[in-house]
């Protein structure tokens, strides 16, 4: 049975990442996942989700709205029980956290 749970949480994780890739930082034309703003996605056996994310800066203009958008969009996955988004600035976000795709998009490569 534990093997089935692993597959389910992995599938859920993939669905969550797909949704995260639809959310954009309004100032940068790259999704928050490729920007490296998502530090971790935890899914437990009760299908509770915790997303650990950061912002490009503590004074980010979307500091109030972006985490809410992440939570609301991820909650649209039917099989999830609870979704919690935690913001951290440890470690602080840097351009090194961006994917190669994001760097290419922003002309940093």
pTM for the whole structure:
0.88
The residues spanned by each domain of the chain are 2-92
Q: What is the pLDDT of residues 19-75, one digit of tens each?
A: 999 999 888 889 999 999 999 999 998 999 999 999 988 888 888 899 999 999 999
- The mean predicted confidence, pLDDT, of the chain is 90
Asked whether the predicted pLDDT for residue 6 surpasses 60, the reply is no
Question: Minimum mean pLDDT among 4-8, 16-20, 55-59, 94-98: which range?
Answer: 4-8
Given a contact cutoff of 8 angstroms between Cβ atoms, the answer to whether 47 and 79 are in contact is yes
User: Can you give the pLDDT at residue 2?
Assistant: 46
% of the chain surpassing 70 pLDDT:
94
Asked whether the predicted pLDDT for residue 85 surpasses 50, the reply is yes
Give the CATH superfamily of 2-92.
Fe-S cluster assembly (FSCA) (3.30.300.130)
DSSP the chain: -HHHHHHHHHHHHHHHHHHHTT-B-TTSSSBTTTTT-EEEEEE-TT-EEEEEE--SSTT-TTTTTHHHHHHHHHTTSTT--EEEEEE--SSPP-GGGS-HHHHHHTT--
CA distance 4 to 6: 5
User: Can you give the pLDDT at residue 1?
Assistant: 45
Given a contact cutoff of 8 angstroms between Cβ atoms, the answer to whether 20 and 37 are in contact is no
């Amino acid at each position: 049975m534990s093997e089935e749970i692993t597959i389910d949480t992995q599938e859920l994780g993939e669905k969550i990442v797909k949704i995260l890739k639809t959310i954009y930082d309004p100032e940068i034309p790259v999704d928050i996942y490729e920007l490296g703003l998502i530090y971790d996605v935890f899914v437990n056996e009760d299908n509770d989700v915790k997303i650990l994310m950061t912002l490009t800066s503590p004074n980010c203009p979307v500091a109030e709205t972006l985490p809410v958008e992440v939570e609301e969009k991820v909650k649209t996955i039917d099989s999830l029980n609870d979704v919690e988004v935690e913001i951290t600035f440890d470690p602080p976000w840097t351009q090194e956290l961006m994917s190669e795709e994001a760097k290419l998009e922003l002309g940093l490569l």
